[in-house]
Amino acid sequence: MSYLIDSHSHLDFEDFDKDRDSVIQRAFDSGLKAIITIGTNLESSKKSIALAEKYENIFATVSLHPIDVDKEEFIGLTFLDLAHHPKVVAIGETGLDYYHSSDKEKQKQVFQKLVQIAIEVEKPIIIHSRDADEDILFLLKEMALPKSRGVIHCFGRDYEMAKKFLDLGFLISYTGNITYGSERQKSITEVPLEKIIVETDCPFLAPVPFRGQRNEPSCVKYVAEKIAEIKKIDFSAVAEQTTKNCIKLFNLPII
């Protein structure tokens, strides 16, 4: 069996309130080695940590998502404290979202503060970018992150843009929307497999053949299958290498 890691899920979301434990069980039964569950605000970050404490191979991240910066005040010390938790493997998702209407300046401030926290606790960052790649690249360069310190999640732009993140030492993460058509597949042929990780972003972005339904971690295999198809390589090669990349980036204590 080929093992995969879902590097980006939102298991704390209420979509999973009725059957969270069976969703998790199904994921591990389907051959997932680990799941990273992503915090999007203070409460969600705490819930993600609680899940990571409950399951050995679930890991958490903490953040205030750019689209949530208007909804709660960012308290740096609280997030710094959570970021130190041994099962917190990254800071994020953080970044900029110019598609949603939350205050751009506030988004930039919170993003910079979260990157500072990541630097302080020496953990990678998970970047969320929507219509904001150039500003994110500008801020990242300004903050002089150490090499290999993160991933740009839900990537769907061309290789030229992918290359700018690769040059800063970032990995590229693909999710279920690469199965929707060629538009979001543009970079996949050229981005080296050694720089790729996979994710579901569940409950969102269910891959074909489940498009439109609730997504869950076990569906990450459809993302890996699509990458294998586009790169014309074996599924097992994609599973093996992306899992290796993920373990290395997030320093996961699994073999």
**DSSP sequence for 45-98:** HHHHHHHHHHSTTEEEEE---GGGTTTS---HHHHHHHHTSTTEEEEEEEEEES
Please give the residue ranges that form the binding site for Ni ion (CB under 5 A): 201
Least CB distance to Ni ion at residue 38 (A): 5
Least CB distance to Ni ion at residue 171 (A): 16
Give, to the nearest 10 degrees, the angle between helix 235-250 and helix 220-231. Answer: 120
Among residues 97 and 201, whose Cβ is nearest to Ni ion? 201
Residue 61: how many other CB atoms lie within 10 Å? 32
Least CB distance to Ni ion at residue 40 (A): 7
Phi, psi of 28 (to 5 degrees): -70, -35
Structural element, H or E, at residue 236: helix 235-250
Among residues 145 and 202, whose Cβ is nearest to Ni ion? 202
Among residues 12 and 164, whose Cβ is nearest to Ni ion? 12
Among residues 156 and 228, whose Cβ is nearest to Ni ion? 156
Least CB distance to Ni ion at residue 10 (A): 6
